[in-house]
Homo-oligomer: A and B are copies of this chain.
């Protein structure tokens, strides 16, 4: 063992050599040059080659960002900030260069006579990215980043002290910068500033459309929650609160994630405080989970959520088209639809637990799971309970949280709500929608990091995800006969195939709305989600 060591030394070329010496693995990076090193071919090939090289740099950024969250030692934070800053700048410069503009124009000319629909979609989306990125002056980009960084620090303190006043100046600035950003992007005719912000996360969706989809949803969920509150049936969450070793929980998560379709040879599952998924690039998709001694079912559902994101990333056609929009996710809402499907529509179904509980018995030992039935788990993981904190909320009331935030941030951007009046507006809505009194802004308008980080226009994508998901799920149900019994048997192949074919492999070829209509034959609406939620409430609460 004395000599297999490798050490990082003064020149990388040496380290690379030593690494080879150690492991006998060929990194072979000069033999197989970076794809775009020689940029030949027609104008379209030149563009995709440049896009692939930028994507390769971005995948490096994704790797070190994942590492930052999952593994990085505490003292590495400053170096990591430098690394991320440097790579981000390099990526931004290449993505917005004049040369990129030329490549896009040439490719577009080429495609006019030679292109098919996919090529045209690729160029359309690449151009959209380019033009959007060019619209923001670098001063504003820097100011947004600075404000987000400092704002998050201020928010953390303010939340710890439940001190809204401390946060107010940052919130005010965040809203003001968002308005400036919207103005740079340009407000669509007949639209509002919020549309331009939303477009960053959910392209082609407008505030008015969101409103028209959310309004009927809220009208259905509020009475549903009242019904739950009045119900005499009270499912018992304690039935499934069992102390179990974390190592076994991890094994359980790995087995289930593999069984539902997450490719473990093309990915990893690790631990972090804030679970997340990172689609690093072709063949490398990683998510994290969080474990507590009694929370085995919660950990599994968290993992299924992230696995859903991961399965989407693995299903995007990155192997061939890495860097091209056709290998990228459409929107945050569509991404979320995949995570919600695996978490809520599969993971919180009784059919799933008919399969998963025997796996749990095998992993944890039959004794640990004695007396637990699929029905117990089904009821316990579908408890509806109005609660102050969004991230701790159930599948049903979660949407109320989102709609509250959407309305309030939209009003702030429009100038109809002064940031200083946020706590009052928030608390009033919590009372009317949830029947809850907010005594403490920590449990109210200070709970989320988003606004401090400049993420305005982001919240609606969470509920849009639920809505897309429900509509996909209904359509899929027509194509897959006996889906429930398949799930109960542990057969998730057809579900995966359906998602691959209808959603994942499409990349950004269509807008989210168009994809939804193509796949489901219907305009986007919350009807399917309402049916899904009502059925669950009926099952659990009568």
**A interface with B by C-beta (< 8 Å):** 1-35, 37, 53, 56-65, 67-69, 71-89, 91-92, 129, 133, 141-142, 144-146, 148-150, 152-153, 155-156, 200-201, 247, 263-268, 273-284, 286, 290, 298, 301-302, 305-306, 309, 312-313, 322, 325, 328-329, 332, 335-336, 339-340, 343-344, 390-393, 395, 398, 448-450, 452-455, 458, 462, 508
With A28-B145, A60-B87, A247-B247 known, 13 other A-B pairs at CB within 8 A are A1-B391, A4-B275, A6-B276, A20-B148, A21-B455, A22-B274, A23-B273, A27-B81, A56-B82, A60-B64, A63-B67, A75-B266, A79-B284
Distance of A22 Cα from B84 Cα, bound (Å): 17
Structural contact, B339 and A5, CB atoms closer than 8 A: yes
On whether the beta carbons of A9 and B332 are closer than 8 Å, the reply is yes
A133 CA to B83 CA, complexed, in Å: 24
Knowing A86-B57, A142-B30, A266-B73 touch, does A277 contact B15 (C-beta < 8 A)? no
Chain B residues in 8 Å Cβ range of A53: 86
A343 touches B2 (CB 8 A): yes
Given contacts A30-B141, A56-B82, A155-B24, contact A14 B328 (CB under 8 A): no
Instruction: Determine how close the nearest CB of chain B comes to the CB of A303; give it in whole angstroms.
Output: 9
Residue in B16, B79, B85, B325 whose CB lies within 8 Å of A280: B79
Once the chains bind, are A7 and B69 in contact (CB under 8 Å)? no
**A32, B453: Cα distance in complex, Å:** 16
With both chains docked as a complex, state the minimum distance between the C-beta of A180 and any C-beta of chain B, in angstroms. Answer: 15
What are 19 A-to-B residue pairs whose CB atoms are below 8 Å? A3-B390, A5-B275, A6-B274, A10-B129, A10-B329, A11-B129, A13-B92, A20-B449, A21-B458, A25-B152, A29-B82, A30-B88, A31-B142, A34-B82, A60-B60, A63-B64, A73-B266, A75-B283, A80-B284
Which residues of the partner chain B approach A75 to less than 8 Å between Cβ atoms? 263, 265-266, 282-284
Complex interface: chain B residues within 8 A of A24 (CB): 152, 155-156, 449, 452-453
Give the chain B neighbours of A63 by CB distance below 8 A: 63-64, 67, 83
State the CA gap A328–B11 with chains docked (Å).
Answer: 9
Residues of B within 8 A of A35 (CB): 82
Q: Which residue of B12, B19, B298 is within 8 Å of A276 (Cβ)? A: B19
Once bound together, how far apart are the Cα atoms of A58 and B82, in whole Å? 12
* CB closest residue in chain B, given A61: B12
- Select one of B2, B8, B83, B149 contacting A28, CB under 8 A: B149
In the complex the two chains form, what is the Cα distance from A452 to B24 in whole Å?
A: 9
Give A45 to B119 CA distance when docked, in angstroms.
Answer: 48
- Candidates B2, B88, B277, B449; contact of A395 at CB < 8 Å: B2
Q: How far is the CB of A203 from chain B (nearest CB, A)?
A: 9
Residues of B within 8 A of A339 (CB): 5, 7
Once the chains are docked, how many angstroms separate the CA of A287 from the CA of B133? 40
- Asked whether B5 lies within 8 Å of A276 as measured between CB atoms, the reply is yes
Give the shortest distance, in Å, between A448 (CB) and chain B (any CB).
8
Which one of A13, A273, A282 has the highest number of Cβ atoms from chain B below 10 Å of its Cβ? A13
Alpha-carbon distance A155/B24, docked complex (angstroms): 9
Cα(A69)–Cα(B7), bound, Å? 13
Determine the chain B residues whose CB is within 8 A of the CB of A275 once the complex forms: 1, 4-5
Given the interface pairs A11-B129, A29-B81, A30-B145, the reply to whether A455 lies near B277 with Cβ below 8 Å is no
Is there contact, CB below 8 Å, between A16 and B65?
yes
- Closest chain B CB from A383 CB (angstroms): 13
Chain B residue nearest to A390 (CB atoms) is B3
Question: Do residues B129 and A328 form an inter-chain contact, with CB atoms below 8 A?
Answer: no
